């Protein structure tokens, strides 16, 4: 079984702005950040080809709400 950090991909535009970062790790997990229109950011977390996405553009936004839900459901795994 593959372990560790396997791949880090960074896509930039012709001006050097980062448009996408993808991190593949462990046997089949990935994290992606996508720069959308108006510099909004989408966070994606998954295993193989399924997972979830959340808008990560604002404080107290969608991603922060998901983090809060996971922390409440799994307090033993919370980090500060």
Residue 61: per-residue pLDDT: 97
pLDDT in tens, 29-56: 999 999 999 989 999 999 998 999 999 9
Domain ranges of the chain: 5-75
What is the rounded CA–CA span in Å between residue 68 and residue 32?
A: 20
The whole-number pLDDT of residue 1 equals: 67
Round the average pLDDT of the chain to a whole number and report it: 96
Residue 29 near residue 47, CB atoms below 8 Å:
yes
Question: Of how many residues is the chain composed?
Answer: 80
| Pairwise CA distance, residues 75 & 35, whole Å | 31
pTM of model > 0.85: yes
């Amino acid at each position: 079984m593959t372990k560790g950090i396997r791949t880090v991909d960074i896509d930039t535009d012709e001006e050097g702005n980062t448009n996408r970062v993808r991190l593949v790790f462990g046997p089949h997990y990935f994290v992606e950040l996508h720069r959308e229109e108006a510099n909004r950011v989408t966070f994606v977390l998954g295993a193989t080809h399924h997972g979830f996405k959340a808008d990560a553009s604002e404080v107290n936004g969608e991603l922060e709400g998901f983090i809060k839900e996971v922390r409440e459901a799994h307090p033993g795994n919370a980090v500060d």
